[in-house]
Amino acid sequence: MNTIVIVLAVAVVLLALVAIAALLVAVRRTNGAVKASSGPSPEEQAEIKAEIGDELARARQEAEEIRIKAEHDAQEILKRSESVAEGAAVTRKEVEEESRILKSELKELRSDLERRENRLGEREQRLDEEARRQAERARKLAETETELADRREELDRVADKRRQVLERVAGLTADQAKAELVKEIENQAKREAALIVREIEGEARKEGEKRASKIVTLAVQRVATEQTAESVVSVLHLPGDEMKGRIIGREGRNIRAFESTTGVNLIIDDTPEAVLLSCFDPVRRETARLTLERLVLDGRIHPQRIEEAYERSKAEVRELCVRAGEDALVEIGITEMHPELITLLGQLRYRTSYGQNVLKHLIESAHLAGIMASELRVDRDVVKRGALLHDIGKALTHEVEGSHAIIGAEIARRYGEHEDVVHAIEAHHNEVEVRTVEAVLTQAADAISGSRPGARRESLEAYVKRLERLEEIAQSYEGVDKVFAMQAGREIRVMVRPDSVDDIQAQVIARDVAKQVEEELTYPGQIRITVVRESRATEFAR
């Protein structure tokens, strides 16, 4: 602060000196001007002095003003310097405080660094010691490995010697012994695995048989059907015994025409007011029964009337087949099915399998399959349709080649049945590998229905198949129109077309059929082959 005051004083003195210097310069100029002149007059000198006095007065005044201003400025500067000094004092305290804080922090940092350096030094010492210990361990491990390698080599040599000794004693090499050991272990593992698998399979089979027996028992208990087998004879009751003579006709004309037209044996014996119709084909037998019933009711019996009644009876049987198929669907609970399938299903009403009515067998199988499907929580509709249609192929004649399962599957596929239903039909006799639960249930239902007591008769089925084969053999020849196996298979009547077969060819057909029957079939007694070549001429009188 003293320095500032001295500076201000020096500035004021300098300003005064500058003013005085300016004044002296003016006086010198005036004196010079006076000396340079030739000599002013007294009046001029008085004026010059007056001007000089005025200049001096103005210079003094200006010097005074400068001094006053300098003092004022010096006071302002002094005030400012005092305020600056005060601020400087405050700042100095803050600076001193901050410096003190910084010094303390620096001291703490130095002490912290010293501690960290000490800890680092200790860690370095520990790491050095650990490194020395690790090096010692590595050295010991290396020595141990060396010893182990030496011992391993020694053991290998001993093992080689022992192996050579064992190979000489056993007569086998190491690879052979290893192969036999592996084979023995493998066989032992297979045996153990087989035992485990057998045990698991036994438990599963036991549980499956138990559950299956329960399901089958429930199904059999809930389905009650007739157990009577179909026969090959139908009985028609007559209004009186005199009707038998009209049926026979003059010299047996009517009975011969009836048998030739229908292919059914008409047996008239001593049974009162009744005649018997014998035929292995139920459809043909039913058609003949309706024909004879119609003739008896009409009372007019002659060959032409027999043919007319036979045609009407065939149409009526077709209607009955359709109705039987529709009744079967209603009983099972199936609402929709192709009309052709319904017709084929109804035709099975008059067909038997091992003496069992096929349509009743299908209805029974559908009920059984539906009950088992409900127990197993399988789609009942698909299972019931498959079981109802699994023997649909039996409705076709022998003219269609193939097994009834494959034929039935093709028919069902043709008329839009579901693929699961088709598979159940074609696989129910294992001709196609079973792939679905529906097919398995169809097989089970078929087996249950066919194996129950009284359901089928094996001898009757064999007899029917022999008669069918007799008709197939005769039908295979060219020119044959119709073939009837009659008299319980002891006679075959072959109807040939007269326009394509002459009398000599008819004799040849009879001889060839007899020879083929002798070669292919086994039967008691003998079979008579009758070839009928009938020519008719018909005219109308107008």
Q: Percent of the chain, pLDDT > 90? A: 3
Above 70 in pLDDT, residue 51?
no
pLDDT in tens, 320-362: 888 888 888 888 888 888 888 888 888 888 777 766 788 888 8
**Mean per-residue pLDDT of the chain:** 79
- Is it the case that residue 370 has pLDDT exceeding 50? yes
Alpha-carbon span 348 to 51, nearest angstrom? 168
Lowest mean pLDDT among 242-256, 291-305, 449-463: 449-463
pLDDT above 60 for 512: yes
Q: How confident is the model at residue 33 (pLDDT cuts 50, 70, 90)?
A: very low
Q: What tokens does 198 get? A: 């057998």
Q: Is 333 left (phi over 0), alpha (psi -120 to 50) or beta?
A: left
Measured CA to CA, the distance from residue 375 to residue 68 in angstroms comes to 131
Q: What is the mean pLDDT of residues 77-104?
A: 73
450 neighbors 229 (Cβ within 8 angstroms): no
pLDDT score, position 537: 72
Q: Give me the CATH topology for the region 233-456.
A: Hypothetical protein af1432 (1.10.3210)
State pLDDT tens for residues 451-477: 666 556 555 667 777 888 888 899 889
What distance in Å separates the CA atoms of residue 389 and residue 445, rounded to the nearest whole number?
A: 12
Q: Whole-angstrom Cα distance, residue 200 to residue 209?
A: 14
Q: Which carries the bigger pLDDT value, residue 411 or residue 523?
A: 411
- pLDDT for position 9: 56
The pLDDT score that the predictor gives to residue 398 is: 54
Q: Kindly report the CATH class assigned to 462-542.
A: alpha beta
Task: State the pLDDT confidence band at 221, using cuts at 50, 70 and 90.
Answer: low
pTM above 0.75, yes or no: no
Comparison of pLDDT for 459 and 199, the residue scoring more? 199
Please say whether the beta carbons of 395 and 347 come within 8 A.
Answer: yes
**What strands lie across the sheet with 528-532, from one edge to the other?**
480-486, 491-496, 528-532
Residue 460 has a pLDDT of 62
Name the nearest CA neighbour of 253 among 194, 306, 216: 306
Domain-wise residue ranges, the chain: 2-145, 233-456, 462-542
